[in-house]
Amino acid sequence: MKRSIIAGIGKYIPEHVETNDDLSQIMDTSDAWIQERTGIKERHFADKHKDTPASMGAKAAEIAIERAGISKEDVDFIIFATLSPDYYFPGSGVLMQRELGIAHTEIGALDVRTQCTGFIYGLTVADQFIRTGMYKNILLVGAEKHSMGLDFTTRGRNVSVIFGDGAGAVVLQPVEDENRGILASALHSDGTHAEILAMVNPGSHGGYHHEKLGLEVDFGFSESRYDPIFVTRKMLDAAQLFPYMDGPTVFKIAVQKFPAAILEVLEKAGKKPAELDLLVPHQANLRISQFVAKRLGLKEDQVYNNIQRYGNTTAASIPIALCEAWEEGRVKEGDLVCLAAFGSGFTWGANLMRW
């Protein structure tokens, strides 16, 4: 029976380091507050003009492709996860294909829009294609450029201090070994709380969901059929073009769903938390990771965290952390590795694999 293994992994971190002290210069926050609540010390911000999710993804992909021992032309499918795409459309997947110089191969490129869980969804989709024999070298990328649109005033401080930019990539290949590769996956979503962690504008909603939910928000739409609803003057003036997050509610639900998804994949594979060599959780908040580890009875060396240096890089956070763990020798052949995420949507899920 075919299983999917990660044959190559790479990451790209933009050069500029933005420290908590840097942010404290432009808004009312402090290094102490940010570290105490989130564990974050610094994050990297992309170059405004040169780094895009597609270009950063391509840089991470080139490393993953080289480490997989294949050429770019061998890639037979692309999956690209991001919540901060280069364009509203087309998706960043085709832009990265062009950036890699493989547009002429005309391979399929699928964009995944499940935010922090993007890599888990992408990996699970890729796993199905590999198992059925449809593709043999799938390039899966998670990349984010959050710094392009955060509210860097005190008004937006609960969101803007958390996020960072970067990209991670893996190449997935088949192996004929039931005991290796992805052993179990779990994907979940619950749209009830979609607006609790969201960037609703620009969009085509026209106020529909807010009205249905009884939320009184004036987006400044005019009644003219011909006036745009995508972006309005009111959205710009009233800071309605930024992400919104009800942090405490997200925290409360995250600490329930993370352990549930991890236990689900362990149970599917007949394993126990103690058997895990490494858990690589989506880097949402160090306190969430610590809570999850405690809940599952995991020791400190069973969990990989690097949010301290990168912040929350959403779809890129798991492949960046996994890549770094692999580079440090924390992930070796034969290790039982669990990836898990929770985020906007809400969406959550996990993958269990034997490296």
Closest CB to ligand COA belongs to which residue?
Answer: 247
Helix (H, G, I), strand (E, B) or coil at 337: strand
Q: Which helix (H) or strand (E) holds 141?
A: strand 138-144
Interface with ligand COA by CB under 6 A: which range of 26-34, 188-196, 214-222, 329-337? 26-34
Do 230 and 204 form a contact (C-beta atoms < 8 A)? yes
CA separation, residue 51 to residues 12, 45, 208 (Å): 10, 9, 34
Beta pairing partners, 185: 351
Nearest to ligand COA of 29, 137 (CB atom): 29
188 given a catalytic annotation = no
Q: Residue 286 CB, nearest distance to ligand COA (Å)?
A: 9
Do 84 and 344 form a contact (C-beta atoms < 8 A)? no
The correct pick among 4, 97, 285, 313 for binding ligand COA (CB under 6 A) is 285
Q: Residue 155 CB, nearest distance to ligand COA (Å)?
A: 10
84 is an interface residue for ligand COA by CB under 6 A: no
323 given a catalytic annotation = no
Nearest to ligand COA of 65, 322 (CB atom): 322
Interface with ligand COA by CB under 6 A: which range of 44-52, 156-164, 188-196, 214-222? 156-164
Q: Residue 240 CB, nearest distance to ligand COA (Å)?
A: 19
Nearest to ligand COA of 55, 344 (CB atom): 344
Nearest to ligand COA of 37, 234 (CB atom): 37
Q: Which of 20, 44, 146, 282 is catalytic?
A: 282
Nearest to ligand COA of 60, 161 (CB atom): 161
284 is an interface residue for ligand COA by CB under 6 A: yes
Q: Where are the beta strands (DSSP E) in 199-282?
A: 244-245, 278-281
33 is an interface residue for ligand COA by CB under 6 A: yes
312 given a catalytic annotation = yes
Do 187 and 61 form a contact (C-beta atoms < 8 A)? no
Interface with ligand COA by CB under 6 A: which range of 6-14, 172-180, 246-254, 272-280? 246-254
- Strands 42-45 and 16-19, sheet pairing: antiparallel
Interface with ligand COA by CB under 6 A: which range of 118-126, 170-178, 283-291, 295-303? 283-291
Residue count of the chain, please give it. 355
Sheet harboring 336-343: ordered strands across? 181-189, 347-354, 336-343, 278-281
The correct pick among 248, 270, 329, 334 for binding ligand COA (CB under 6 A) is 248
Interface with ligand COA by CB under 6 A: which range of 40-48, 51-59, 155-163, 213-221? 155-163
User: In the numeric block, which tokens belong to residue 308?
Assistant: 């301290």
Question: For 307-321, b where at least 16 C-beta lie within 10 A, e where not — what string?
Answer: bebbbbbbbbbbbbb
Q: Which of 285, 312, 338, 351 is catalytic?
A: 312
Do 265 and 185 form a contact (C-beta atoms < 8 A)? yes
Q: Which of 44, 116, 137, 305 is catalytic?
A: 116
Beta pairing partners, 224: none
296-302 long-range Cβ contacts below 8 angstroms, 24+ apart: 296/259, 296/262, 296/263, 297/273, 298/273, 302/276, 302/277, 302/278
Catalytic residue numbers read: 116, 282, 312
Binding site for ligand COA (CB under 6 A): 29, 33-34, 37-38, 116, 157-158, 161, 245, 247-248, 250-251, 254, 284-285, 288, 312, 343
